[in-house]
A and B are shown apart, each in its own frame.
Chain A
């Protein structure tokens, strides 16, 4: 992925999958659920999101978070990936 300077990579990927702008996606409250009532990602799209986070950011959420708590909300996912990147 060509990360834009100053842009958070998870938000950028999410924006691409949602077909929304980076700014609109970044403005979502952290507590916005990714699945169901919230962004309403279906299971297939959520799997695609995780696969792209793995290949483009290098964090394997599905392997490191067996219960997928990171899918709880936009903020949880961002936090999980950024924490892994920082270590």
Chain B
């Protein structure tokens, strides 16, 4: 394996000869199958660190019934693949289910043949055997570095996502399905314990990120101490998504603006990003603002955010000069100011909200400013 390989998000374990000794289908009928204690313990440590455990075994699908009888092991597995097909296909199926790239996966398998087949057909995948894998994890190699509480719950979220996909398959219209998911979006001012996650979210998002620049933890800390730093958390009947979005809102008299927007692509296709942006513009309108602007750095990656803003009725500021940023906005926009464009939404009569299936719970206390000046301008 390459020593400089990327962080691993999912470890795919082979069963026979790896998770347990021997071959399950060839054992004596009365013989109990027992997963190896060192493997189980390592799976639990990976799970706690936000690394997903899965299984790819070339065996009969009846083995799943047996796996379910091993509750400690079964509880750790996400999207296990048991089939006689090529192992590379199982790896790809797991990657697709989890929405990750094969380059963030590691196959642990005792068979050099399987390792070679997967290596040849899954781009970027890493392979190793049990002994080396256990030693590697013991050293902490390629374990996740960002250990925010949110990242640690990643495995639970993958499980919830699988339940969602199963449920979604029963509905023909996405919107019909979304109504049944009981999406609940909570928008609230950020608190100190959100700081690490805020920095992480800005770093990890691309498609729905207005700035495209990293936000170091100390910069996030400064934002968190200001009233317009908002975070969004999402839940639905399948589980908790955690903190999935953020925006910074500032105001000066008639125009309010959001110098930073970042939304996780994990919540893609649920109408959550429009719901958040629409909500903050409504709060601005209620406070008497006549327009709401978003400065952003257009890139190949964030076209989707531009589309979304257009959908909400934002258009480019061409005539006259864009607002002069102050407070947090000044710091956020100071780098590469030439690459920033401004989009603005006029806040006359606003149409109905864009995602009626999302129920909103918003703490808008931050928006009560003296003289309608946002606190962060003091």
A residues near B (Cβ < 8 Å) are 35-36, 42-44, 46-47, 50, 62-63, 66-69, 71
Contacts and interface: CB of A to CB of B under 8 A. Distances in A.
Contacts of A69: 315-316
B57 to A, nearest CB: 35
Interface string B17-51: 00000000000000000000000000000000000
Nearest to B313: A36
B362 to A, nearest CB: 22
A40 to B, nearest CB: 10
Contacts of B315: 67, 69
Contacts of A35: 307, 310-311
Contacts of A68: 303, 306-307, 310
B306 A44 contact: no
Nearest to B311: A35
Interface in B305-332: 306-308, 310-311, 315-316, 318
Nearest to B317: A67
B310 A66 contact: no
B303 A47 contact: yes
A75 B370 CA distance: 46
Nearest 10 interchain pairs by C-beta: A67-B316, A62-B303, A43-B307, A43-B308, A35-B311, A46-B307, A47-B304, A66-B298, A66-B341, A68-B310
6 contacts: A44-B269, A47-B303, A50-B307, A63-B300, A67-B316, A68-B310
A66 B316 contact: yes
A63 B300 CA distance: 7
B343 A67 contact: yes
Given A42-B269, A62-B298, A47 B341 contact: no
B300 A62 contact: yes
Interface of B: 268-269, 298, 300, 303-304, 306-308, 310-311, 315-316, 318, 341, 343
A62 B341 CA distance: 13
Summarize B's interface: helix, strand, loop or mixed: mixed
Contacts, number: 43
A43 B316 CA distance: 18
Contacts of A42: 269
Of A47, A63, A69, chain B has the most CB atoms within 10 Å of the CB of A47
Contact of A44 (B300, B304, B318): B304
B13 to A, nearest CB: 34
A67 B316 CA distance: 5
A64 to B, nearest CB: 11
Nearest to A42: B269
A71 B269 CA distance: 19
Nearest to A62: B303
Of B268, B307, B318, chain A has the most CB atoms within 10 Å of the CB of B307
B297 to A, nearest CB: 10
B310 A71 contact: yes
B298 A43 contact: no
Contacts of B341: 66-67
Given A35-B307, A35-B311, A50-B303, 8 more contacts: A43-B311, A46-B307, A63-B298, A67-B315, A67-B316, A68-B306, A71-B307, A71-B310
B12 to A, nearest CB: 29
Nearest to B342: A67
Contacts of B318: 67
A66 B338 CA distance: 13
B339 to A, nearest CB: 10
B317 to A, nearest CB: 9
B25 to A, nearest CB: 44
B102 to A, nearest CB: 22
Contacts of A62: 298, 300, 303, 306
A20 to B, nearest CB: 17
B353 to A, nearest CB: 13
Nearest to A44: B269
B311 A36 contact: yes
Given A35-B311, A67-B316, A43 B304 contact: yes
A66 B210 CA distance: 13
Contacts of B307: 35, 43, 46-47, 50, 68, 71
Contacts of A71: 307, 310
Contacts of A46: 307
